[in-house]
Amino acid sequence: MLEVLHRAGCGRMTRWSRGTSQVTTPGILFFSSEKLPAPGFAELIIEDKREGEPFELRVVSSPETQPILIPNDLKIPSSFLRREKISSTISSVESVVVRGDVTNIASELEGTDSSICVLGNAFELRRDAREFVKSLVALRSAAGSGRMIYAPGILDVSNLALLCYAGVDLFDSSLLVYQGSRGRLLTPEGTLLSEEANWLVNSADPEESIRHNLEAAWSELQLVRHMQKLGRLRELVEMRVNSNPWSVAALRILDLEFFELQEKFTPVVGPSFYCNSKQSLYRPDVQRFRLRILERYRPPAHKRVLLLIPCSAKKPYSTSRTHKLFHQAIQTAKNNTVVHELAVTSPLGVVPRELELVYPAAQYDIPVTGHWDHDERAMVQEMVAKIASFGYDKIICHLSIEESFVKDVVDCVDTSSGRPTSNEALEKLSSELSGVCSSFPYLSRGDDRVGNMESLARFQFGEGGEVLVEECSVVGNYPYLRILHENVQIAMLTPERGMLSLTMQGGEKLLPTHLNIVQMANFELQGNLFAVGVEDADRRIRSGDEVLVLNNGELEAVGVASMCGEEMVEAKRGEAVRIRHRKNRS
């Protein structure tokens, strides 16, 4: 039985239960023989008992557990099978070996009771990053979330993080041993010859090189698991892939061609993280934010003046010294509620002020150099042009270096001359706003807050989500805001989640939109809702989303999704929704 504990793109950390024993994956299968026994730290060992008989996979912590049999016939020329686009499967009791073209393998897996799918030609795919990613994605789609994927013969220390992130659950020690026997030392940063690193091992002793490789892989696995728990595996992957061109190519292909699969399993909330490489532009959570700005986002209808401002190192932006200076300048203008602040930034493109608490706008950090490459410029121009298309009466550009390329896509008034925090620039901004804001009908602070929350609700839930805030008032001190309907709280904004958290009354108000619905089986809900009790779920739901739990068409509870909607329906184990409020049956 498999239970997903943490997600990172296509990768996951799971608890694999077999009988009375439990094992955490991703995991390494250590080959064990009389000549080279498995190391003492091994959790899983794999033994070749007799020639022609299956390998036996055993859980070390529970040797009495019946072993899983894995076919040992992994010697068919995989390159031939791939060239000829022939698919080949070999089945045993609980494992299936898949080779060649796996894009149509789902029908062959259907009906099997296997818990492990073996990518039999994984070693061959070390030559071809595109074919590796394509095969792995196809196999995961066919195998579903209930099976583990084992990629034999491909693990070295530098690619372990990438393989986990790409969706491999199990690896083996074969390449670690082989490279060690050749005097090659595997490290997270790449491969060294033992004579080049005799400070690490005795170059004359192959067994010492092998032992180094096994220990290095084990240490890297612990780091991968730790980063997975923290929600920061992607950062580790971006550091590790630079050790070789194959890994860089595989990550790029995964990001650029299989974004939808990654995004589906990427939570909408998360910890702070660094965007230190070009590939950070294509993180699934970063790409999703940009897409939702382009597809979901609508600015508050009352905003008539678009103010373009730079981002800040401190998050949320409003807590930074720079943005406090901007705020003071804006406040000098009467009727300044018609001003819509839009931060221009990489890698998110733009961040409207009302979305500054939303993940990842409040969590990312980037190295600031003042240099914008072509991709960053194009990204910002597209998004600024999109926001400007909503028909503002005036656009004011109060940017630094960004103004040089932003002006190419919008007709705007420059108030900063490239120095937005200078006294001269701030005075000019204040004067410009004072002149333009007074020409529009007066708008109260209360109405401004309601409009901002409507915009946030639409971004969070999708089209129709703004109905949550209709006919409501907003009270509190930002960033802690409560949304009230007839003096009853329906939702609350907090900086910890950066999203609107629903009450039961909020769930009832949102219910007619049919957004983020989870249908549970007909039973009395006592605690959290587990996947086994889910009958259906909105496929747009992502881990971390606010959801409505229905029982026989009536609202039973509201809470936070612990997995995406597709996985809620497919999984047989694990928490599906963490319940916040439930129906009062007294």
For residues 550 and 517, the answer to whether their CB atoms sit within 8 Å is: yes
Domain spans of the chain, in order of start? 76-260, 278-433, 516-586
Full-model pTM: 0.92
Q: In the chain, what are the helix, strand and coil shares in percent, each to the nearest 5? A: 35, 25, 40
Residue 339, pLDDT score: 98
Q: How do beta strands 394-397 and 481-485 pair?
A: unpaired
Q: How do beta strands 517-520 and 500-502 pair?
A: unpaired
Residue 500, pLDDT score: 98
CATH for 278-433 is 3.40.50.10630
Question: Rounded to 10 degrees, what is the CA torsion of 281, 131, 223, 568?
Answer: 80
For residues 299 and 352, the answer to whether their CB atoms sit within 8 Å is: yes
Which residue, chain included where needed, has tokens 């040992």? 72
The tokens for 581 are 């409020």
**What sign does the CA torsion over 54, 571, 530, 456 have?**
positive
- Listing DSSP states for 275-304 in one string gives --SGGGGG-HHHHHHHHHHHHT----TT--
Is the bond into 441 cis (omega within 30 degrees of 0)?
no
Phi, psi of 368 (to 5 degrees): -100, 120
Residue 82, pLDDT score: 38
Is the bond into 26 cis (omega within 30 degrees of 0)?
yes
Residue 49, pLDDT score: 62
- Total residue count of the chain as it appears in this document: 586
The residue type at 28: I
Angle at 538 between CA 532 and CA 540, to 5 degrees: 120
d(CA 21, CA 80) in angstroms, rounded, equals 40
Given this structure, which CATH class describes domain 76-260? alpha beta
Given this structure, which CATH class describes domain 516-586? mainly beta
The tokens for 342 are 């839009």
Q: Which residues of the chain have pLDDT under 50?
A: 74-93
Burial-class residue 372 by CB neighbours within 10 Å (0-12, 13-18, 19+): middle
For residues 314 and 388, the answer to whether their CB atoms sit within 8 Å is: no
Angle at 10 between CA 165 and CA 519, to 5 degrees: 145
d(CA 231, CA 235) in angstroms, rounded, equals 9
Residue 51, pLDDT score: 59
Which residue, chain included where needed, has tokens 């892939």? 241
Residue 79, pLDDT score: 35
Residue 86, pLDDT score: 39
